[in-house]
Structure 1
Amino acid sequence: MRIAISTRRMIEPVHGEARDAVSEDWYRYLHVISPEIVLLPLLNAPDRVARWASDLEIDAAILSNGNDWGECTARDETERALVDWCRTCGRPVLGVCRGLQVLNALRGGTVETDIASVSGQDHGGTRHDVTLCSPQFVELAGREHIVVNSYHDQGVTISGLGPGLVPFALSDGDVVEGFYHPVEAILGIQWHPERPGAPYDFDMALIGAFLKRGAFWSQPELER
C-alpha cells in the first residue's frame, strides 16, 4: 500500500532555507499497522501534487501535523490539491491534528485560532478525556471514553463543523476530536496516534481499517 503524507514547511535557521519534513514517528507507526505500507512524503508544491499522486499510484493520503492553517500558503494549497485528487479518485484521506482542521476548512467549516479560550480547556502538550458519541466507534473502542494526547492551539468546535461532516469524538467545550464523512472516505482525528499517550489499541483498529477499507463505518458491523 502506497500512502502519501503531507509535510511540514520549516525554515532552516542557519541558511534560511525552506525545507519540507515529516516526523520519523510516522514511519515507525505505520510499519506497525502494516509492514507493507510505503510512506511517500510530498513536497509542498500545489501545481504538481495531482501528477505525483497519479504517477505514484497512491492508495491513501494522510494530512499530517505541523504549521497552522493559514500560516503557509504553499502547504495549504498542496493539501487542498491532494484532497481534491483523492476525492476525485476515491482514495481515503486521514487528517491528523492540523489535518483534521484542514479537512474541516476545505469542507466549509471554521478553525478556531485559540481553542483554549473558546473551550476553557488547554489543548497544548497535555492529555485529556474524549467522549465517543457514535455507536460504531464506541463498538470499535469497546468503551465510551478514551484518553488522548493533545498538541494543538487551533481547533474545531461543533458550531464550526463543516457541512456533511459527522462528529464521533468530543471533548469539553464542544471541541471536535474526531469526525468522518458518511459517504466519502474522509476521517479526521485531533490527537496524534504516532506519538506516546494516544489510545493505542483504538487507533490501531481505527486507522488500520480506514486505510484498508475507506469509509468502513457505512458497513453494518466494524471489525475489532
Structure 2
Amino acid sequence: MHRPLIGISTYLEDEARWGVWTLPAAVLPAGYHRHVQQAGGIAALLPPDAPETAAATVARLDGLVIAGGADVAPARYGAAQDPRTGPPAPARDAWELALIEAASAAGVPLLGICRGMQLLNVARGGTLLQHLDGHGGPPGAFARHTVTPVGGTALAAVLPEEISVPTYHHQAVDRLGRGLRVSAYAADGTVEAVEDPGARAFTLAVQWHPEAGDDPRVVAALVAAAGGGTG
C-alpha cells in the first residue's frame, strides 16, 4: 500500500527545552504528525529553509501541511502593524509562502491550519484582520466554538455537519484572496475555512486546529488526496 509523504512546516525556536538541553530547535506539536500517520501518511517535518529551495522540496512530497504559529507580518499584505499583532517571523513567512506557491504550481495537495490559512489568503493577495476576540483561551490553552460548513464546498463533503472545534487565534481572513472560496464560518461571521475550487489539486485551509482535537477527517482528506484519492 502506498503511504503518501506529507511535509509539515515547523517552528524555528531560538530556545527549546528538553531534558537537560536548551538549544535552538525546529519544533512542532505532535498532533500534526500523529494525525498524518493515523490517516495512513508518512510525516516529514520541514524546518524553514531558503525560499528558492521550495520547489525542489515540494517535488519530493505527495502532500503539504502549512502549520499554525506566529502572526503573518502585516507588511506581507500591505498593512501597518497593529500593536496587538505579534512579532514577525520573516524567514518563516518567506519559506512558507514559497512552499504554498510551489505546491500550487506543481498540483500538490495542500492543507493550511490556522496561520497556514491566513498565509494562503495572503499568498493569493488577500488581507487579514489583525485582531479579534473570542477565538482562543488563555495563553497556551485552546478554546472551542462551533463552525458551520458552507454547503456544496469541498469542506462540506468532508465535514457535512456543524461541528465544535479547538481554536486559538486572534487574527482572521479579511479580504478574500484570488480564487479562494469561503467554506465555513463561525457564529460571529468569522471566516473559518477557505478552499480553491479551481486548483489543480486539493487546496483547503481551516482556521481552527484539527491536530489539537480528535476529529481526523480534515487531515485524512488531505492524505487521501495525496494518495491519489478525491479527498
Closer, same or farther: CA 161–16 of 1 in aligned 2, 3 Å: farther
- Displacement, 1:53? 3.1
Shift of 1:201: 5.5
Structure showing the higher helix proportion among its residues: 1
- Give 1:9's match in structure 2, choosing from 9, 12, 15: 12
For residue 152 of structure 1, what is the aligned residue in structure 2? 169
Task: Tell me if 1:51 matches 2:56.
Answer: yes
Contact 1:127 1:150 (8 Å CA) reproduced: yes
Change (3 A) 1:213 1:151: farther
Query: Would you identify which runs of 4 or more consecutive aligned residues in structure 1 move more than 4 Å?
Result: 13-18
Q: Is the 8 A contact 2:70 2:89 kept in 1?
A: yes
Supply the distance in 1 between the matched residues of 2:112 and 2:151 (Cα, whole angstroms).
Answer: 18
> In the aligned structure 2, how far is the partner of 1:191 from the partner of 1:146?
11
Distance 1:9 1:148 in 2: 26
Shifted more, 205-214 versus 123-132: the winner is 205-214
In the comparison of the two structures, how many residue pairs are matched?
203
CA RMSD of aligned residues (A): 2.5
1:19 aligned residue (14, 25, 40): 25
**Counterpart contact for 2:58–2:108, Cα < 8 Å:** no
Percent identity over the alignment is 30
Residues 97-138 of structure 1 deviation map (CA, whole Å, 9 limit, x = unaligned):
11000000101111112122xxxx333431011111123444
Partner of 1:61: 64
The match for 1:170 is 185
Higher RCO (CA 8 Å, separation ≥ 6 residues): 2
Letter matched to residue 90 of structure 1:
G
SS in 2 for 1:170: strand
Q: Which residue of 2 aligns with 1:29?
A: 35
Q: From the superposition, tell whether residues 115 and 212 of structure 1 become closer, same or farther in structure 2 (CA, over 3 Å).
A: farther
Partner SS, residue 95 of structure 1:
strand
Indicate which of 159, 165, 188 corresponds to 1:141: 159
Kept in 2, the 8 Å contact 1:9–1:67? The answer is no
Q: Measured at CA, do residues 191 and 210 of structure 1 come closer, stay the same or move farther in structure 2, by a change above 3 Å?
A: farther
Amino acid across the alignment from 2:119: V
Do the aligned partners of residues 194 and 48 (structure 1) sit closer, same or farther apart at CA in structure 2, a change above 3 Å counting? same
Letter in 2 for 1:164: G
Gaps of 5+ in 1: 218-224
> Conserved in 2, the CA contact under 8 Å of 1:97 and 1:192?
yes
Gaps of 5+ in 2: 74-87
Output the CA distance in 1 between the equivalents of 2:217 and 2:43. 22
Paired residue secondary structure (1:12): strand
Equivalent residue letter for 2:136? H
C-alpha spacing 1:59/1:139, structure 2 compared with 1 (3 Å): closer
C-alpha separation in 2, matches of 1:204 and 1:12: 29
TM-score by length of 2: 0.78
